[in-house]
């Protein structure tokens, strides 16, 4: 109630987030994000595919979430499968609007060829606030993604041939300006907190997942947990989500640009260094 948590943070404070991009060599883009005891690795692979029938002039994203058995004892056996599906479905919902990623830029030739981005999320360690950490990692990995430039060559008979550029610098970059991040708000007593630890999550009966863009626009919402939420507190939580989300995006963007400006000079940290 007095805006003070066990670790000394206020209700709207995030812990320190470690973000590192370009960590896996055989991917088009990758990122590793560590938040508290939650550790996430995301790899993006761009592959040629055929556009979906209902969207002939767009590429698309496919999500796959792997809950490593080492992440938490609950994932032994098939324990992590349901959670993996739930996370993948949430990511599909977030990216299922036109503005998040420019899917038309992924189209090479309508109805025939497009880029498919396979986004693989690996949970290395689970220590609370999973959805926020995954959304930050996905955004960082998409920012890091480089897709080879393609030329479509047509011969006299009208059949098309595709030529990929060999130059590693001749590539397309995705704009991640509108890619949302998830802010999870856990209701504890009369207050709600962001970036909850495992202990705080255990005290919370209901949480609200709010996906927010860098401009503070809410694109998707989901309630988690068995408890109920009062409409007024939902409105309050959304406002907090927008406020916190904008700050989160701003600091993430600045760190991504800063890291990129260092180029090959930057030091690799973590076990992937």
Distance between CA atoms of 112 and 114, rounded to whole angstroms?
7
- Residues 107/114, Cβ–Cβ less than 8 Å: yes
What number is the average pLDDT over the span 97-110? 86
Question: Within the chain, where are the H helices?
Answer: 81-95, 130-144, 198-203, 231-262
CA 167 to chain centre: 28
In a domain, 10, yes or no: no
Q: Burial level of 97, CB count in 10 A (0-12/13-18/19+)?
A: middle
What number is the average pLDDT over the span 94-99? 83
In a domain, 9, yes or no: no
Percent of the chain with pLDDT over 90: 48
Q: What is the pLDDT of residue 123?
A: 92
Percent of the chain with pLDDT over 70: 95
Q: Where are the beta strands (DSSP E) in the chain?
A: 17-21, 29-35, 38-49, 60-67, 107-109, 113-125, 146-148, 150-154, 160-164, 171-173, 181-188, 191-194, 206-212, 218-224
Q: Match 């969207």 to its residue by tokens.
A: 55
pLDDT, the chain, mean: 88
In a domain, 271, yes or no: no
Q: Which residues contact 152 (CB under 8 A, 6 or more apart)?
A: 108, 109, 113, 160, 161, 162, 163
Q: What's the DSSP call for residue 50?
A: -
CATH of the domain at 177: 3.30.230.70
* pLDDT over 90 at 265, yes or no: no
Distance between CA atoms of 70 and 80, rounded to whole angstroms?
11
Q: What is the pLDDT of residue 63?
A: 95
Considering the entire predicted model, what is its pTM? 0.91
The number of folded domains in the chain is 1
Q: What is the pLDDT of residue 128?
A: 84
Domain that holds residue 249: 17-265
List the one residue out of 141, 254, 250, 244 whose CA is nearest residue 196. Answer: 244
Euclidean distance between the first and the last CA atom of the chain, given in angstroms as a whole number: 42
In a domain, 97, yes or no: yes
Q: What is the pLDDT of residue 250?
A: 93
What confidence category does residue 272 fall into, taking pLDDT thresholds of 50, 70 and 90?
Answer: low
Q: What is the pLDDT of residue 118?
A: 95
Q: What is the pLDDT of residue 269?
A: 65
Sort residue 109 into left (φ over 0), alpha (ψ -120 to 50) or beta. beta
In a domain, 237, yes or no: yes
pLDDT for 109-154, tens place per residue?
A: 888 889 999 999 999 988 889 999 999 999 999 999 999 888 877 7
* pLDDT over 80 at 82, yes or no: yes
* pLDDT over 80 at 260, yes or no: yes
Distances (CA, A) of 224 to 80, 142, 143, 205: 17, 26, 29, 9
Q: Tell me phi and psi for residue 84, to 5 degrees.
A: -60, -45
What confidence category does residue 33 fall into, taking pLDDT thresholds of 50, 70 and 90?
Answer: very high
In a domain, 88, yes or no: yes
Other CB atoms within a 10 A radius of the CB of residue 12 amount to 17
In a domain, 258, yes or no: yes
13-22, 148-157, 205-214, 238-247 — which is least confidently predicted?
Answer: 148-157
pLDDT for 177-229, tens place per residue?
A: 999 999 999 999 889 999 999 899 999 999 999 999 999 999 999 999 888 89
Q: In what order do the strands lie in the sheet with 181-188?
A: 191-194, 181-188, 206-212, 218-224
157-166, 198-207, 231-240 — which is least confidently predicted?
Answer: 157-166
What number is the average pLDDT over the span 72-95? 82
Q: Which residues contact 233 (CB under 8 A, 6 or more apart)?
A: 187, 192
Q: What is the pLDDT of residue 89?
A: 93
């Amino acid at each position: 109630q007095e805006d003070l948590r066990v670790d000394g943070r206020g209700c709207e404070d995030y812990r320190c987030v470690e973000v590192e991009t370009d960590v896996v060599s055989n991917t088009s883009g990758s990122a590793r994000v560590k938040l508290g005891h939650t550790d996430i690795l995301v790899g993006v692979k761009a592959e040629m595919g055929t556009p979906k029938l209902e969207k002939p002039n767009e590429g698309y994203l496919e999500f796959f979430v792997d809950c490593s058995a080492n992440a938490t004892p609950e994932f032994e056996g098939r324990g992590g499968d349901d959670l993996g599906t739930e996370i993948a479905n949430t990511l599909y919902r977030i990216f299922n609007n036109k503005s998040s990623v420019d899917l038309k830029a992924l189209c090479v030739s309508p109805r025939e060829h497009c880029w498919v981005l396979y986004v693989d999320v690996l949970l290395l360690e689970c220590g609370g606030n999973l959805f926020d950490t995954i959304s930050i990692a996905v955004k960082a990995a998409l920012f890091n993604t480089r897709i080879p430039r393609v030329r479509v060559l047509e011969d006299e008979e009208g059949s098309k041939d595709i030529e990929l550029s060999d130059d590693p610098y001749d590539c397309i970059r995705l704009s991640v300006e509108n890619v949302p991040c998830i802010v999870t708000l856990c209701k504890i007593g009369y207050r709600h907190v962001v970036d909850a630890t495992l202990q705080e999550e255990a005290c919370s009966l209901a949480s609200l997942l709010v996906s927010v863009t860098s401009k503070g626009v809410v694109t998707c919402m989901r309630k988690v947990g068995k408890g109920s939420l009062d409409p007024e507190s939902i409105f309050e939580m959304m406002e907090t989500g927008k406020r916190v989300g904008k700050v989160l995006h701003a600091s993430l963007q600045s760190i991504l640009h800063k890291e990129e400006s260092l180029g090959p000079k930057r030091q690799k940290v973590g076990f992937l260094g």
